[in-house]
Structure 1
Amino acid sequence: MKLEERVRNLSHEAAPTLVPPFPDADMMHVLDLLPPDERSRLLDIRTFLQNDVREASIDYWNKEEFPFELLGKLGAYGLGGLQTDGTSTLFKGLVYVEVARADVSLSALVGIHNELIVGMIDALGSQAQKERWLPGLTSFRQLGAFALTEPDHGSDIAGGVETTARLEQGEWVIDGAKRWIGSGTIADFALVWARDVADGQIKGFIVETNRPGYSATKICNKIGLRIMQNAHIELRSVRVPETNLLPGATSFSKANDLLRDSRAWVGWQAAGIQLAAFDIARAYSLKRKQFGRELAKFQLVQQQLAEILGNATASLGLMAHLARIQGDGKLEMVQAAMSKATTTRMARASVAMGRSLLGGNGISSDYEMGKLLGDAEILYTYEGTYEINSLIVGRAVTGKSAFV
C-alpha cells in the first residue's frame, strides 16, 4: 500500500504530501564544486532516489525487510561501483548524502559496499579475487559483508579479535563469532577478520556464506537502520582455500586506511539525514495548520528550520573540505574521527528538533521523522562511537591517550 493510501486510513490528520527536496537547501553551493558532468549525474541520482526509494523504504523499514528489487536499480545508476569508477571523492560523498536523504539504511548498504567491500578487494585483493568478485559487486548482482566486530569486542576490536584462523593442508580453518555484521544474512561472502594462530597477526579472509560451518542469524527489533540486515555470525571450523586470504590484508594495519575512510563516510550520511530532516520538517510546516495558520508562520518553527538547515550546511561544508584533503591523499584518522563525531552530533540534534516540530506525528514512521530519529542514533554509534571518536581527537591534541 502506498504511503498516501495508508495514511488516509489513519484516524488522525492526513500526513503532508511528500515534496521534492527544497531546491535551495544547498545554501553554500557545494554542488557547484563538481564538474558539470558529475553534477548532472548527481541530480539524476537524486531524482531516482527521491522518486523510487524514499517513499518505498518506509514499509521495508517498518517490517525490517530488505528491498531486493531495488538492488538492480541501484546498480543501474552506478551506486555499486563508486569506489572504482574514477569519479571524484566529492562526488562519491555527495552521492552518499543523497542516498541517506532518501533512506539511511540503504545509504549504509551503499557506503559499506563501496568503502569496505569493493574498496578492500580492489586495494588488498589478488588479481584472481578481483576478477572473481568485482564485476558482480560493482553491478550490485552480488553483496559482501564486512565481518570485523565481535560479540565482546567493538571499540577495542583492533587488539581484541578472538576469531582465529589456522592453516591446515592448504586450507584456512576459521573459528569464532562476529556481531552486528551488515548484510550478514543476505551476502554472497563475508570479509572475515581473524587472528592467525601461527603468527598472531589479524588477517582478512573471503568466506563464502554457503560454506559448511557458516551461520548467520538476523538481529531483530532494532530502533534504527531497520532495513539493513545486521547479523550475528557463527564460524565453526569453516574451511576456505588458502587463496581466500587477501594478500594485502596480512596484518590489521593494512586495513587502517580503508577503516579511516569508512569513518569519514559516516559524516556524509550525517549530512544527508539532516537534509532529510529539513525536507520533512519544511514540508510539514507548510501543510500543517495550528491556531488558524500554517506552522511555517510561527517564529519558533522558523527558528528550528533555520537551525536544522544550518547544521546540515555546516556538515556539508566540513565534509567538502574533508573530501579535498582525502582527494589529495592527506586524510588522517584524527580528521576522519573529528568529522564523524561532529556531524553525527549535529545530526542527532537536528533530527530531534525535527521530531519536536512535528509534535505527536514526529514519533510515527508514517511521517518519516520518527524513522530518522532511530536512524540518527545508529549513526551516532557505529564506525566508532561518538565518545571513542572524540577521544581519538583528544589524544591527537594533547598527546595523551585516555582509552585506558
Structure 2
Amino acid sequence: MPGSGGATGDSAGAGGKVGLQSLDVVLAFQQATPASLFPPAVSDYYQLDDLLTDEEKALRKKVRGIMEKEIASIMTEYWEKAEFPFHAIPKLASLGLAAGTTKGYGCPGLSLTASAIATAEVARVDASCSTFILVHASLVMPTIALCGSESQKQQYLQSLAQFKTLGCWAMTEPDYGSDASSLRTSASKVPGGWHLNGQKRWIGNSTFADMLIILARNEDTNQLNGFIVKKGASGLKATKIENKIGLRMVQNGDIVLNNVFVPDEDRIPGISSFKDINEVFAMSRVMVAWQPIGISMGVFDMCHRYLKERKQFGAPLAAFQLNQEKLVRMLGNVQAMLLVGRRLCKMYESGKLTPGHSSLGKAWSSRKAREVVSLGRELLGGNGILADFLVAKAFCDLEPIFSYEGTYDINSLVTGREITGIASFKSAVIAKSRL
C-alpha cells in the first residue's frame, strides 16, 4: 500500500524499524564535519592558558588528546543508546583524574585548579563522562579521604584512584533533593553493625558501583551518618532510571535499602552530622561549576568550525552579521565563566572560599552556559537538533547539571543568605500560614 513503508527495507514486525537504514551523517550532510572528529580548541580568546603552570598545561593537553581521540568517536552512539561505554573505562582511567585532589595512599593529589581544568576538558567533549568522573573523584574519594577510617583509606583509596573499584555517592531521595538536611533513610544500631532502610534517587553510577556511600539518619542521634555498602549486599536494590533527555550515558539509579546490614567497620566514622560533609560539598560544587564551562567551550568550538564550513548563498555562514554577533556573545560568556572558575579554585586553595562563593559560581556558570548552548542550537539550524553535531547533546546534557549539586534557585538563596544575613528558605506550608 502506498505510504505504508512496508514494501521495502526492514520489516516492522515485532517493533522493527520501517524503511531503509539511515545514511551516515558524513555522507548525508557533507558540508560540515560531525563531532566524532572533534573541532580544534579555539575558545581561549583571552589567552588564559598563560595563567597555567607547566604541569597544568601538560595535564590539559593530555586530557584533551585522549578525549578527542578515544571518546569523541563513540559518545553519540552511547548517548543515543543511553548506555555507558564500560570498555572506555581504562581510557578514562588513563586521564589520571579518578583520585581528584586526594593525596597519598597511591593518589597523585592534583591541585583543585588542575582538576577543574581537566574536568572542563572532559566536559568539552562529553558531559556524561565528566559526571561519571566527578561522582567518583569529587564525592566518593574525598569522603573516604576526609571522613574515612585509616583502614578504609588503606582499603579503598588506591583502588578507587585507578578505577579498579567504582564508587557512587547516595544522598538525594525521592522526596528530598535540595532539602538534603531532611533525609529520611534511617540507620538503626544492631549487634555488630547497622541496618539501613530507605530510598535514594538520581544516584549516578549506582547501578554498577562496587561500593556505595550511603548517607542515612542515625535513629538514636537523629544526625547524618555515612556508610559503605558493598555491591550485592542483601536487601540492596539499584535500578536504572530510564527515559532521561540529558546525560544519557550516565547510569542514574533508584536505590532501595531494605534492612541492609552494614558491619561496624563499614560505617564512615568522620560523618556524625550534616556539617561533616560541608568540605566535600565545597570542593564538589566548585568542580561542578567547571562542567558548564567545558560544555560551553565545546559548543563554541563546534559552532566556530561549523559556521566556517557550512555555506549558504555562496558564502560561509560565518560571513553573516547575525551569526557573528551570536558567536561573539558565546565567546564572551566563555571568557567570563573561565575567569570566575579560576577565581573559585584560587579562593578554595587559599582557604577563602565560602558556601556562598561556590553556590554563586555554580548557579551563574550554569545559567550563562544555558545561553551559550541555546545560541549554538540556533546557529546550527536543523543540524542543531542532531546529536552528531554535539550542540543538541550539549543542550540536553546541561539541563540536569543546571539542577544537580543544588538548583539555580537554591544556590542563589545560599548566596543571598550569606550577603544579607537573612535566610529566606521557607517551606510551602510555612509560607501559606503567613499569608
- Please classify the TM superposition score into its range, dividing by the shorter chain length: over 0.9
**SS in structure 2 opposite 1:238?**
strand
2:420 aligned with 1:398: yes
- 1:88 aligned partner, one-letter code: S
Give how far 1:33 is off.
Answer: 2.2
Q: TM-score, length-normalised on structure 2? A: 0.89
Per-residue deviation, residues 34-55 of structure 1 (Å, max 9, x unmatched) = 2213312221211111111123
Cα separation, 1, equivalents of 2:397 and 2:56? 28
Cα separation, 2, equivalents of 1:375 and 1:74? 19
2:119 aligned with 1:102: no
Q: Which residue does the alignment assign to 2:190?
A: 168
Q: Which residue does the alignment assign to 2:92?
A: 74
Q: Which residue does the alignment assign to 2:249?
A: 227
Give how far 1:21 is off.
Answer: 4.6
| Pairs within 5 Å for 1:304-319 | 304-319=326-341
Q: Which residue does the alignment assign to 1:36?
A: 54
Q: Which residue, out of 72, 92, 98, partners 2:115? A: 92
2:387 aligned with 1:347: no
Q: Which residue does the alignment assign to 2:156?
A: 133
Give how far 1:20 is off.
Answer: 5.0
Q: Which residue does the alignment assign to 1:216?
A: 238
Per-residue deviation, residues 279-328 of structure 1 (Å, max 9, x unmatched) = 11111111111122110111111111111111111100001011111111
- 1:392 aligned partner, one-letter code: V
Q: Which residue does the alignment assign to 1:16?
A: 33
2:389 aligned with 1:370: no
**SS in structure 1 opposite 2:169?**
strand
Structure 2: gaps (5+ residues) = 1-21, 103-107, 427-435
Cα separation, 2, equivalents of 1:323 and 1:45? 19
Q: Does structure 2 retain, via aligned residues, the 8 Å contact 1:204–1:246? A: yes
Name the stretch that deviates more: 78-87 or 136-145.
78-87
Q: Does structure 1 retain, via aligned residues, the 8 Å contact 2:34–2:388? A: no
Per-residue deviation, residues 322-341 of structure 1 (Å, max 9, x unmatched) = 11111112211000000001
Cα separation, 1, equivalents of 2:151 and 2:400? 36
Cα separation, 1, equivalents of 2:44 and 2:208? 36
**SS in structure 1 opposite 2:297?**
helix
Name the stretch that deviates more: 392-401 or 145-154.
392-401
Percent of matched pairs sharing the same residue: 39
Cα separation, 1, equivalents of 2:295 and 2:34? 19
Q: Which residue does the alignment assign to 2:80?
A: 62
Structure 1: gaps (5+ residues) = none
| Number of equivalences | 399
Give how far 1:342 is off.
Answer: 0.5
Give how far 1:80 is off.
Answer: 1.1
Cα separation, 2, equivalents of 1:9 and 1:204? 53
Q: Does structure 2 retain, via aligned residues, the 8 Å contact 1:167–1:242? A: no
What's the Cα RMSD here?
1.6
Q: Which residue does the alignment assign to 1:263?
A: 285
Greater Rg by CA: 2
Q: Which residue does the alignment assign to 1:199?
A: 221
Q: Which residue does the alignment assign to 2:147?
A: 124
**SS in structure 2 opposite 1:366?**
helix
Q: TM-score, length-normalised on structure 1? A: 0.95
